[in-house]
Each structure stands twice: as C-alpha cells, then as structure tokens.
Structure 1
Amino acid sequence: MTRIIGLTGGIATGKSTAAAYLREQGFPVLDLDQLTHDLEAHDQDVIQQITAVFGPAVQTDGQIDRKKLGRIVFADPHLLKQLVRIINPALLKVIAEKTAPDWLILDAPTLFENGFTSYVDLILMVTCEPMIQMQRLITRDQVSISWASRLIGAQWPQRTKAALADQVVDSTQGKQKLYRELQRFIENLR
C-alpha cells in the first residue's frame, strides 16, 4: 500500500530543492504546484469555475493566466480561499489516482493551509532562516520586498508548520547540509 509523505515548506525555503533530491533518490514526487498549473491550463471545468468567480480577465488564450490571478488572490485572503475551494477537489482526485510501490512524496507548499494533512501519513517540513527566505524570494522571483512579504504572509508561519510536522530539515546553510539531513530522513524510513 502506498504511504504518502507530505513535503512542505514556506515559499523560497528550499522545498523544491528537497523534492528534487528525493526524486533523485528514487522517490516518486507529485508536485501540487505543477498539478495546479496543469489544471489551470487544461482542465475545462477548473478553468470555467475560476473564470466564473474571478472574471474573464484572468484568462489568456483559453487558459488561466497565473500572474493575473495571483495579483488578485494574493491581495485578498478571502479570494485566495475561494480559489483553493475550486482547485482542491481536482487535486484530490489526481492524488487518489496516484500509487507508488512504497512511499509517494506529495510536494505541497500549502499542505497545512489547504487542508491536505489528513491525506498524508508523514509530514516533512523544509525550513530556513526568515531573512534567507526573503533574500531567496526577492532574487528568485525578481520581486520587491513588499511583494515578497505579501507572498510569505499568505502562508502560515514557518514555526507554526514546523511545530506540526513530523520531521523538520533546515536549508539555511545550503544544499549540502540539506542533503545530509534528507539522507538521514530517508535512512530512518527504511
């Protein structure tokens, strides 16, 4: 039976780096962000529901324009919740269809915020120092400090997530230290 590890972490904390490492180690990884992108680009039911709530301006060439939609939902927590209510059922359907021989990694940055914790057997949280997180986000996404703060603020605080996780790994000191922590995590699974 497939067991699911919920891999989570705040934006720009190193979660994607951790997911890539786990994938390299042979774990199947289901990326919920990528799945959401795919649904918003190709799932007509999802596209129609989003358009009905947020208006036709969020579409470009028949697909949801994530930048336009992002500007709307990250400016208003209520609207973000409305988007989650549209996306979650479609994501849960895809998750239910996935199987793996042993462990499946559910790469879910908003695992807690979107209520996915009841679908996982184990929660692995990637964290880093808040100033490092801010610097990474500004550099990676080429955004202002205020927009980076808004994006970080749209998620639960790292310390809250870490307190709820089964295992926490830290990426503050770079990839090699993160990889060593992940390797210890893998060894404890087996």
Structure 2
Amino acid sequence: MKSYKNFLHLARNRYSVRAFDTRSVEMEKINHVLEVGRIAPSAANLQPWNFIVVKDEPYRSYVFEAYNRVWFRDAPVYLVLCADHNISWKRSDGKDHADIDLAIAADHMTLAAAELGLGTCWVCNFNPDRLKELLNIPSNFEPIVILPLGYPLDTGEPDRHETKRKQLKDIVKWNCF
C-alpha cells in the first residue's frame, strides 16, 4: 500500500489508470472501496445509489459490451455505480441531485482505491441502455459511471498538475464573479 503525507498528496497522485494488471483484487480491498462509497455524503442523506461489483463471466463481457475499449478489458473488477431517481433529492426547481450524489461517492471510491495502491478511471462514455439490459438494472436506476478497478501497470504523469491543470488564479474568484 502506498503511503501519502496528506490528502493533497493523495489527490495529486491519483490518476486515471488505463493499463491494468490482470491479477485479482483482494475482497478486503474491494469492500474497503465500497465502504468508502457507502459513507459518502449525499443531498438530504438520501444515499440514492447502488453499486454493482462485476468480477465474473458472463457479466464482465456484458460490461465490456457496453464500453468496448481494449484497455478496459484487463481490469479485474468493474464497479457500476447506479443512481436511484425515485429517492434522490430534487431541488425546488426540479433539479435532480442523483448524478451529483453519485459523483461524490465515485470520487470517494477512486481516492480510497488510490490509497490502497489500486487504480481506477472514470468511464461515463458507455451505452447505458445496453448496460441496464445486460445487468438487469431496474428502470428507476441509471448507471452513471463505471469504475474499472485493479492494480495499475502504468505510473501516470507525475508533473501533470503543473502542465495540464489550470492554475488557481485562473479559476478562483473572490467575493463575486
């Protein structure tokens, strides 16, 4: 397990992994990542989510069918994070916060995975209707993100935050826009 000095160090070292070792991920580590997602905050504490852990065939092939990319196939685990629109909090103008709540849980999970030496990648460009059909996801649930989970083969780009990220001065406004 990697050691991080503080949260900023962990956040800077997490990256989108697109090359996975095929060795299996220990159940304790999978359960740790799931637990961190479970305790994530949500609007009005409604927790409008279900997490599908996909490790076995034919279900792995089903997930791959919904997102057919070569790099994606080798991840030993897929976490399919689904939002329940029947119980999610809606703002007075009707805005549904299910996606936001799921994103918070997903981000907690990606950081927990990184802390354990595991890699993830946010995958949202999949066929949600096909995934719902293949994994028998109920109509009130929407698959929001797939997190492939496994041991990384690559190391990321250590300087990416200096070269590819906007600087604070470019994105922060004080007191008003």
TM over 0.5: no
Bigger RCO of structures 1 and 2 (CA < 8 A, at least 6 apart): 1
More helix by share: 1
